[in-house]
Structure 1
Amino acid sequence: MSEAQGFLDQRAGLFGRKAAVIGGGGGIGAGITLALAEAGVDVAICDIDQDQMAVTVAEAKGHGREVLSALVDATDPAALDSFYDEVTQGFGNLDIVVNVVGGTFRTSFMEMDRDAIARDIQRNYGYVVQSVQRAVQLIRAGGRGGSIINFTTIEAHRGAASFSVYAGAKAATTNFTRSMAVELGKEGIRLNCIAPDTTPSNGNNSAMPPEIAASFANLSPETMGKGMAMYIPIGSPPPIAALANAVLFLASDLAAFVSGITMHVDGGTMAAAGFLDWPYGDGFVPVALSGTLPYIFPENA
């Protein structure tokens, strides 16, 4: 370990802490679980994908940490309570909780039935409220404060047509997080959000209708890359590791006075607010100009 690494580890103070990652078995959640374990954190995870979770548990144990796991649908209130009961028995207290679970699908609001609306609200807001309530009890049991990190989305901060209920539920999670940061601040319990945009995850891929997902599959990586470079100021989607790094920061003592914020880990898309880097010399503008328009609408050129 280099001096720089030792200095940062000491300042972060993560080694020996205990975390729960809700949805920590695969994808983004697995990346977070493994980053915490590598930082010296004991981890409890739940997920609906048993196979992926088994792989993640084995890798986390490979870092020498204690790992608890449970096959649980976090959107089921009874199942989520049972997971927290297991964590209480196994760990006794927590320092860090990360609520990763979420998801949606692209559709017009008027085509959603009430069951689909209720599911979108529960998996993007409802379970978070329950998880935070149980998490606070376990953080209080540790007597040294702690960090709760809720995953929201860029869609909570813009008008997301065809993802309206999802966007509304994530906005509720965002403001709930801010409110709880104020309510629990004097106890040393910090709450923050991470708002990703496009990330390489199964959840994002499954949000698209099958026909759109299939059409993406027919595009070359070079073409997809050029599209992302137009949309994302940094030029490419943030990898899962970037989201895990944000969790490590917010969970650590490096962020000891950071509470109630939303950290946008999106490569700059929130900052761009609709400015795209159009090709053919148009550059960063909200709407294509004379360089690009003839290629989009050749019949009107």
Structure 2
Amino acid sequence: MSDFKELSRSVRGLTVLVTGAASGMGRATARVFAAEGANVAVTDVAEEGAETVAAEITKRGEIAKAWRLDVADRDEIIRVVDGVAAHFGGLDILVNNAGISVRVAIGDDGYDEAWTKALAVMLTAHPRLIRAALPHLRKSASPRIVNIASTEALGATALHSPYSAAKAGVTGLTRSLAVELGRDGITVNCICPGPIRTAITDRIPEEHKTLYAKRRTALGRYGDPEEVAHMTLSLCLPAASFLTGAVIPVDGGLMARNA
């Protein structure tokens, strides 16, 4: 039997790029990583929002810098990823979190446009970001990729087919790239959040959220963005070196419950 191995549970000094980091789960992820000593690239198409989050982090004496990033823009992805690596001296962790809300019926005139936009932001962007990050991740001692999907990839809701299709694609992409990049020591995992309190779900009346959560989740409540962010952090620890290709619901038991 081999000797006990001390594996690091610290991301201090590692550099993480988080997309969609101006609000919700992205903001929480940026703040959680910064609090643990990581260098955080706060990226979002909402430039002012990204700068606000970076300022919140640096005000606490932690390390962050904001970049505007439209994940549907291939050239901007390359520019920002290379800029992050140049600024921090490398890139260790990529968190593909950016997303949009899409609600459209299959028969609606705007369906094709909604489908194209949903896949551009929530699926096509992922391999583009990964391709841009690969040269930098291959130089890291603890390279990690975490893709944020949704429980909509595991079950479905009416009027959300572009969203569900994009998120299901993310789970398949995660498994495939986990196999492909495993030889490089790069882990690729996926989180499927369930009902989480974000700007999108803020539009739902509180009484409706309460009824839904009590009826559908084992814990009987909505989750907080930080609860997803801490799972993301766990997947990115240097000690999480033998976990790859996983699709993990963070849903309060939503997918486990039949009735």
TM more than 0.5 = yes
Q: Which runs of 5+ in 2 are unaligned?
A: 1-6
- Amino acid in the other structure paired with 1:136: L
Partner SS for 1:253: coil
Does 2:126 align with 1:128? yes
The answer to whether structure 1 residue 106 and structure 2 residue 103 are counterparts is yes
1:18-57 correspondence runs (5 A): 18-57=15-54
More moved, 196-205 vs 31-40:
196-205
Specify the alignment match of 1:257 in structure 2. 242
Q: How far is 1:161 from its partner?
A: 2.4
How many residue pairs are counted as aligned between the two chains?
A: 253
Structure 1 residues 17-64: Cα deviation after superposition (integer angstroms, max 9, x where no partner): 111111112221110000000001001121122332222111221343
Q: 2:149 aligns with which of 148, 152, 170?
A: 152
SS in 1 for 2:144: strand
Q: Residue 81 of structure 2 corresponds to which residue in structure 1?
A: 84
Task: Give the distance between the partners of 2:121 and 2:48, measured in 1 at CA.
Answer: 21
Deviation at 1:204, TM superposition (A): 4.0
Q: For 2:111 and 2:255, how far apart are their aligned partners in 1?
A: 30
Q: 1:66 and 1:241 mapped to 2: Cα distance?
A: 19
Contact 2:37–2:63, Cα closer than 8 Å, also in 1: no
Larger Rg, first or second structure (1 or 2): 1
Give the secondary-structure state (helix, strand or coil) at the position aligned to 2:67: strand
1:240 aligns with 2:237: no
What is the alpha-carbon root mean square deviation over aligned residues? 1.9
Look up the SS of the partner of 1:67 in the other structure. Answer: strand
Q: Deviations for 1:194-233, whole angstroms, at most 9, x for unmatched residues?
A: 101111112345xxxxxxx5xx44xxx4564233211111
- AA aligned to 2:170 is T
- SS of residue in 1 equivalent to 2:21: coil
> Are the counterparts in 2 of residues 96 and 251 from structure 1 also a CA contact under 8 Å?
yes
Report matched runs for 1:250-289 at 5 Å: 250-272=235-257, 275=258, 285=259
Match of 1:230 in 2: 215
Task: Report the residue type matching 1:41 in the other structure.
Answer: A
Distance in 2 of aligned mates of 1:96 and 1:63: 22
Report % sequence identity: 27
Q: Which residue of 2 aligns with 1:183?
A: 180
Match of residue 97 from structure 1: 94
TM-score computed with the length of structure 2 as normaliser: 0.91
Give me the TM-score of the superposition, normalised by structure 1: 0.79
Report if the CA contact (8 A) 2:114-2:162 is conserved: no
Note the residue ranges of structure 1 that are not aligned, 5 or more in a row.
1-9, 206-212, 276-284, 286-301
Distance 2:102 2:37 in 1: 36
Kept in 2: contact 1:154–1:195 (CA 8 A): yes
Letter of the structure 2 residue corresponding to residue 258 of structure 1: L
Q: Distance in 1 between matches of 2:92 and 2:157?
A: 34
Following TM superposition, the consecutive aligned residue runs of length 4 or more in structure 1 with deviations greater than 6 angstroms are none
Residue deviations 1:118-146 (CA, integer Å, cap 9, x gap):
1111111010110111122211133x241
Moved more, 55-64 or 166-175: 55-64
Please give the residue correspondences for 1:197-212 in structure 2 after superposition, counting only pairs within 5 Å: 197-205=194-202
User: Do the aligned partners of 1:26 and 1:49 also contact (CA within 8 Å) in 2?
Assistant: no
**CA deviation after TM superposition for structure 1 residue 67, in Å:** 1.9
Structure in which a larger fraction of residues adopt helix: 1
